[in-house]
Amino acid sequence: MHSRAARPVLAVVTAGAAVALGLTGCAAAPDPGTVTVLNSATDTAEHTKNQKFFDRCARPLGLRVEQLSVPADQVASKALRMASSRSLPDILELDGSELPQFALTGGLRPLADLGVATSGFSRSAVSLGSYQGTRYGVARSANSLALYYNPDLLAKAGVEPPRTWAELRTAARKLTGDGTYGLAFSASPDADGVYQFLPFFWSSGGDEARLGDGGGAKALGLWKQLVADRSVSKAVVNWNQQDVNDQFVAGRAAMMINGPWQVPVLDAQKKTRWAVASIPVPEAGGTAVAPIGGTVMTVPKSDTPDRERNAAKILDCLNTPRNQLDWGKATNNVPTRTAAARTYAEQNPELAPFAELVATARSRTARVGTRWPAVGDALAGAFQSVLTGRSSPEAALRRAQQQASTGK
Amino acid sequence: MTTLTRRPALLRWLFIAPALIYMAAFFGYPLVRNLLMSFQHYTPTTYFTGEAPFNGLDNWRAVLADPLFTDALWHTALFTAGSLLGQFTIGLALAVFFSRRFRLAGLVRAVLLLPWLVPMVVSAVVWRRILDQEHGVLNTFLQAVGLTDGGVPWLSSPSVALLSAVLVNIWIGIPFNMVILYGGLQEIPRELYEAAALDGARPWRAFRSLTLPMLRPVITVVLVLGFMSTVKILDLILALTAGGPADATQTLGTVTYQLSFLRLDFGQGAVVGTVLILVSAVFAVLYLRANRADFGKGK
Residue type (1 letter), B40: Q
Euclidean distance between CA atoms A120 and A375, whole angstroms: 31
Question: Given this model, what pLDDT does residue A100 score?
Answer: 95
**What does the mean pLDDT of chain B come to?**
89
Tell me, rounded to whole angstroms, the distance of Cα A145 from its chain centroid.
10
Buried (b) or exposed (e) across B215-237, using 16+ Cβ within 10 A?
Answer: beebbeebbbebbeebbbbeebb
Question: Which residues 106-125 in chain A show a CB within 8 A of chain B?
Answer: 106-107
pLDDT band with cut points at 50, 70 and 90 for residue B4: low
Query: Helix axis angle, B266-296 relative to B29-37, nearest 10°?
Result: 140
Q: Do B44 and A105 touch (CB under 8 A)?
A: yes
Closest chain A residue by Cα to residue B45: A105
Partner residue opposite B62 with nearest CB, options A81, A104, A406: A406
ipTM of the complex: 0.85
Question: Given this model, what pLDDT does residue B244 score?
Answer: 84
Q: Is the pLDDT of residue B116 over 90?
A: no
Q: Would you call A373 an interface residue with chain B, using a CB distance cutoff of 8 Å?
A: yes
Question: Given this model, what pLDDT does residue B269 score?
Answer: 95
Q: Is the pLDDT of residue A25 over 60?
A: no
H or E segment at A167?
A: helix A165-175
- Each residue's pLDDT tens digit, A197-210: 999 999 999 999 99
Euclidean distance between CA atoms A354 and A257, whole angstroms: 12
Question: Given this model, what pLDDT does residue B48 score?
Answer: 92
Q: Is the pLDDT of residue B103 over 80?
A: no
Q: What is the largest CA-CA distance in chain A?
A: 89
Q: Do B48 and A407 touch (CB under 8 A)?
A: no
Residues of chain B positioned with their CB less than 8 A from the CB of A373: 262-264
Q: Would you call A235 an interface residue with chain B, using a CB distance cutoff of 8 Å?
A: yes
pLDDT band with cut points at 50, 70 and 90 for residue A26: very low
- Each residue's pLDDT tens digit, A53-70: 999 999 999 999 999 999
Mean pLDDT value of segment B44-50: 91
Could you give the percent of chain A with pLDDT greater than 90?
Answer: 82
- Each residue's pLDDT tens digit, A357-375: 888 899 999 999 999 999 9
Partner residue opposite A234 with nearest CB, options B133, B247, B263: B133
Question: Given this model, what pLDDT does residue A29 score?
Answer: 56
Could you give the percent of chain A with pLDDT greater than 70?
Answer: 92
Euclidean distance between CA atoms A352 and A263, whole angstroms: 13
What is the least distance, in Å, from the CA of B120 to any CA of chain A?
18
- Each residue's pLDDT tens digit, B16-34: 999 999 999 999 999 999 9
Residue A393 contacts residue A217 (beta carbons within 8 Å): yes
Nearest to B107 by CA among B119, B95, B98, B96: B98
pLDDT band with cut points at 50, 70 and 90 for residue A73: confident
Question: Given this model, what pLDDT does residue B32 score?
Answer: 94
Question: Given this model, what pLDDT does residue A20 score?
Answer: 41
What is the least distance, in Å, from the CA of B60 to any CA of chain A?
12
- Each residue's pLDDT tens digit, B204-229: 888 998 899 999 889 988 998 899 88
Question: Given this model, what pLDDT does residue B296 score?
Answer: 47
Residues of chain A positioned with their CB less than 8 A from the CB of B128: 238
pLDDT band with cut points at 50, 70 and 90 for residue A118: confident
Residue A215 — φ and ψ, nearest 5°?
Answer: -65, 140
Question: Given this model, what pLDDT does residue A151 score?
Answer: 96
- Each residue's pLDDT tens digit, A142-169: 999 999 999 999 999 999 999 999 999 9
Q: Is the pLDDT of residue A9 over 60?
A: no
Residues of chain A positioned with their CB less than 8 A from the CB of B68: 403
Euclidean distance between CA atoms B156 and A289, whole angstroms: 29
What is the least distance, in Å, from the CA of B18 to any CA of chain A?
14
